[in-house]
């Protein structure tokens, strides 16, 4: 990979000099992150003063996210149980860390968590796995648990597998799971279920 300085020498019209106006990694504040997050079409997260740029999702990844978001939104609209928001929409998990789940849901009694620019915690989050699987399976799992998010849905498009995790004594345990066929249900969103067979057909 060509270094920024070398790229600037090759093409003096590139604006690498504007990077001087941005904080160094480790020195980002929340307000600065939120401003940049509004201005970019990339998915970015803030972790303890560091900006993390996420890989661009595939078409199937986005179609699965849209499908899940629609299912949650339809259920909430029909029952009044809460509100669901699809990414990009950051979730504050600590004072210095903001993550970008693919779907965020707050129950009706916690609707105030869904602020205009970001959510302050959540009741349910959904992550559709990408190439960096450890990010969702390990790092975010631990962070969401520490933030007290009661339910975490992990969707694996590689295996057409859905795992529903619920928080027990500060750690996630499996509520139910299914691969390629079968139905999974929510522990806290009453009456909500997903037929995993439908995911297989999403392209």
Q: Please give the helix or strand (H or E) that residue 91 lies within, else none.
A: strand 91-94
**Residue 73: left if φ>0, alpha if ψ -120 to 50, beta else—which one?**
alpha
3-state secondary structure of 173: strand
Q: Which of these three, 15, 30, 53, is where a domain ends?
A: 53
- Looking at the structure, tell me whether residues 31 and 108 fall in a common domain: no
Torsion sign over Cα 5, 7, 8, 14: negative
Both structure tokens of 166: 């619920």
2, pLDDT greater than 50: no
Q: What count of Cα atoms within 13 Å lies in the side-chain half-sphere of residue 53?
A: 6
Domain identity same for 187 and 125:
yes
Owning domain of residue 181:
59-200
Reported as type and span, the H/E element at residue 195 is strand 193-195
Cβ atoms of 104 and 89 closer than 8 Å: yes
Domain match, 40 and 118 both: no
> Both 32 and 128 in a single domain?
no
- 183 and 111 in a common domain: yes
Q: What is the pLDDT of residues 32-91, one digit of tens each?
A: 888 888 888 788 888 988 988 888 899 999 999 999 999 999 999 999 999 999 999 999
The confidence score (pLDDT) of residue 19 equals: 60
Please indicate, yes or no, whether residues 8 and 26 belong to a single structural domain of this protein.
Answer: yes
Judge if 135 and 190 occupy the same domain.
yes
In the three-class reduction of DSSP (H, G, I as helix; E, B as strand; rest coil), residue 50 is classed as strand
| 36 and 80 in a common domain | no
For the stretch 112-136, pLDDT in tens is: 999 999 999 999 999 999 888 998 9
Beta strand pairing call for 183-185 and 193-195? antiparallel
Structural domain count, the chain: 2
Euclidean distance between CA atoms 65 and 117, whole angstroms: 20
One domain, residues 80 and 132: yes
Same domain, 64 and 36: no
Average pLDDT over residues 167-181: 97
Q: Which two tokens stand for residue 132?
A: 């960096």
Q: Is the pTM of this model over 0.75?
A: yes
> Which segment of 28-37, 102-111, 135-144, 150-159 scores lowest on mean pLDDT?
28-37
For residues 47 and 83, state if they share a domain: no
Instruction: Report the CATH number at residue 117.
Output: 3.90.1570.10
Based on the number of CB atoms within 10 Å of its own CB, is 90 exposed (0-12), middle (13-18) or buried (19 or more)?
buried
Three-state DSSP class for residue 187: coil
């Amino acid at each position: 990979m060509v270094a920024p300085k070398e790229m600037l020498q090759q093409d003096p019209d590139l604006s690498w000099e504007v990077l001087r106006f941005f904080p160094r990694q480790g020195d980002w504040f929340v307000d600065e992150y939120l401003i940049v997050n509004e201005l970019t079409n990339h998915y970015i997260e803030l972790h303890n003063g560091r900006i993390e740029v996420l890989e661009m999702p595939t078409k199937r990844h986005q179609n699965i996210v849209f499908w899940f978001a629609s299912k949650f939104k339809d259920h909430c609209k029909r029952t009044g149980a809460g509100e669901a928001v699809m990414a990009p929409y950051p979730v504050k998990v600590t004072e210095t860390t903001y993550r970008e789940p693919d779907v965020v849901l707050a129950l009706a009694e916690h609707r105030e968590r869904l602020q205009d620019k970001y959510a302050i915690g959540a009741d349910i989050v959904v992550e559709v796995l990408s190439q960096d699987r450890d990010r969702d399976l390990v790092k975010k799992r631990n962070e969401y648990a520490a933030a007290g998010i009661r339910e975490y849905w992990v969707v694996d498009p590689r295996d057409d597998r859905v795992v529903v995790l619920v928080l027990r004594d500060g750690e996630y345990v499996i509520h139910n799971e299914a691969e390629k066929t079968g139905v999974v249900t929510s522990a806290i969103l009453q009456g909500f279920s997903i037929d995993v067979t439908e995911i297989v057909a999403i392209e």
